[in-house]
Structure 1
Amino acid sequence: MDGKKVKAIIFDLDNTLIETGLAGDVALQKTGELLKTALALNDETVSSVCERYMQKLFHDHYDPSAGRSIDEVRVGHWQDSIQEVAGSRVPASLAAQCYYTWKESRLALLTLSPETRDLLGRLRRSYKLLLLTNGVPQTQREKVRASGCEDFFDEVVVGGEHAEQKPFASIFRLCFDMLEVGPGDCVMVGDSLEADIQGGFNAGVLASVWINSAGGGGGGGDVPSGSAQPDFTIPTVLDLPGVLDRLECGC
């Protein structure tokens, strides 16, 4: 790697390397079918239950010191969502069935595409690679195992296992130390302006690359006012080699 400007690449996981959003949509559809059969709910009510669950999931601040596992907490989210929308008490067994249908269906789809696997394999021959993902340790480790990411990375760091997560600079400094590189040797790649791009800026990386699947190609994309500004914007991680070529040549 001597002579290269880029020595290491730090990747986000969700919606960067794996399609977590799409997998979640499919998992909700399967769970909705279960609810319709079990409780004879109409499509509108099922949709409302699923939406309520996702709201609870989004606002969930899991505290392991409370004495409940993340699985138990999320079973509770399903039970509460069904009761709040449908207005009837739900057996814990049904709530658990909903949760594990959703969880297992989602994990089954969280795989690296053949193209992404090929990309990571090629990149690892030239760069050190580290996977840095925020979230609850159990949940994120399950995603890492399901996707097979461990085979392609020198290190895997789950933010929830440390005092601070992205965008705090401390988690990036840990990554630099693990890879034995400096911030100016690294590129940060992720889909979140708030966590990945701002985090890369806070840590002083050489360049940040925003995966904006809705923004099209050409290095553009709509960055909201006040958000961290990525150095590069691409619609898919598969376009990363072009960015790396530009960094190496100073284009």
Structure 2
Amino acid sequence: MGPGRVRAVFFDLDNTLVDTAGASRRGVLEVIKLLQSKYHFKEEAEVVCDKVQVKLSKECFCPPSTCIDDVRTEHWEEAIQETTGSPASQNAAKECYFLWKSTRLQHLTLSEDVRAMLTELRKEFRLLLLTNGDRQTQREKIEACACEPYFDAIVVGGEQEEEKPAPSIFFYSCDLLGVQPADCVMVGDTLETDIQGGLNAGLRATVWVNRNGMAPPKPSPRPHYTVSSVLELPALLHSMDSMDSGHHLEAS
């Protein structure tokens, strides 16, 4: 890590500041109820939802002009057909998708603790939200959790030429804030994008939010620091300058 004070902190959004995974699970539960009550699925309802989750994890947005709502409606249509062996009506697929989506957005919130933390940090540091993903999807999440007032800038990967872990998106973020990479800390829950990206760009430090205390797979990028909650960040930032650059803080 370079010398001098930390001047800026870059935050990931999903599963770092907001519980996207938990909100998605709530959406899935609502869709299961819908499939069982309206469409008379039994155990197939959970299978359909499992298949959709796999499809979501493999999404790629090329060309970028593709409408995400159309792509994700197709996920549900395919999953229903794969599970039942019969073509799914597009209306049923749309109903499942929009119920999942609306439920997820309803439950995407910045907790009071996170709001308070960001408010305090912004008194000392410049804050930037750096999130990968489709432009429409991420902007809808940002609006749903009302996080824009807490940041000096917001950068969405789907609006840039490259996403995390490419160095270019980190350099663009630095330019927006008028800081150098060595002035910045990246905070996120994903080793392959948040942590690797911060390392690729030569940021002062990377902080991995490891909520579940899981052991990182090998090989994987090695963060400078590991915390179990983003709420541990203020204490870490205040002690960072006095820490030896080779020391790793493991928070329980």
Give the alignment's TM-score, normalised by structure 1: 0.93
Pairing 1:182–2:180 present = yes
Structure 1 vs Structure 2 CA RMSD:
1.4
Deviation digits for residues 78-131 of structure 1 (CA, Å, limit 9, x no counterpart): 111111101222221111111100000000111100000000000011100000
Determine whether 1:229 maps to 2:203.
no
Cα distance in 2 for partners of 1:34, 1:176 equals: 45
Shift of 1:64: 4.1
* Partner Cα distance (2:105, 2:4) in 1: 37
Map 1:32-47 onto structure 2 (within 5 A): 32-42=32-42, 44-47=43-46
- Structure 1 residue 72 corresponds to structure 2 residue 70: yes
Whole-Å separation in 2 of the counterparts to 1:145 and 1:20? 14
Letter in 1 for 2:37: T
- Which runs of no fewer than 5 residues in structure 1 stay unpaired? 216-220
- Aligned partner of 1:240 in structure 2 is 233
Compare the two structures and name the one with the higher helix fraction.
Answer: 1
Aligned-pair CA distance for 1:63: 2.6
CA–CA separation in structure 1 for the residues paired with 2:125 and 2:16? 18
Identify the residue that residue 202 of structure 1 maps to in structure 2. Answer: 200
User: Which of 102, 105, 124 is equivalent to 1:104?
Assistant: 102
Deviation at 1:249, TM superposition (A): 2.7
Q: Is 2:126 aligned against 1:136?
A: no
1:218 matched residue in structure 2? none
Shift of 1:160: 1.0
Please give the alpha-carbon distance, in whole angstroms, between the structure 1 residues aligned to 2:21 and 2:240. Answer: 30
Distance 2:242 2:59 in 1: 44
Match of 2:249 in 1: none
Task: Determine what percentage of the aligned residue pairs are the same residue.
Answer: 45
Pair 1:166 & 2:159 matched: no
How far residue 222 of structure 1 moved from its aligned partner, in angstroms, is 2.2
Please list every run of 5 or more consecutive structure 2 residues that lacks an aligned counterpart in the other structure.
245-252
Q: Does 1:5 align with 2:5?
A: yes
2:48 is aligned to: 49
Closer, same or farther: CA 49–70 of 1 in aligned 2, 3 Å:
same
Alpha-carbon offset, residue 248 of structure 1: 3.0
* 1:126 aligned partner, one-letter code: E
1:41-66 deviation line (CA, Å, top 9, x unaligned):
11x2111100011111111212346x
- The one of 233, 243, 250 aligned to 1:250: 243
Name the SS for the 2:241 alignment partner. helix
Q: Distance in 2 between matches of 1:234 and 1:70?
A: 33
Letter in 2 for 1:36: Q
Counterpart of 1:27 in structure 2 is 27
How many residues are matched?
242
Q: Distance in 2 between matches of 1:229 and 1:188?
A: 13
Aligned-pair distance for 1:190? 0.1
Mapped to 1, the partners of 2:199 and 2:60 lie a distance apart of 25
The alignment partner of 2:155 has SS state of strand
Query: Is the aligned partner of 1:191 residue 2:189?
Result: yes
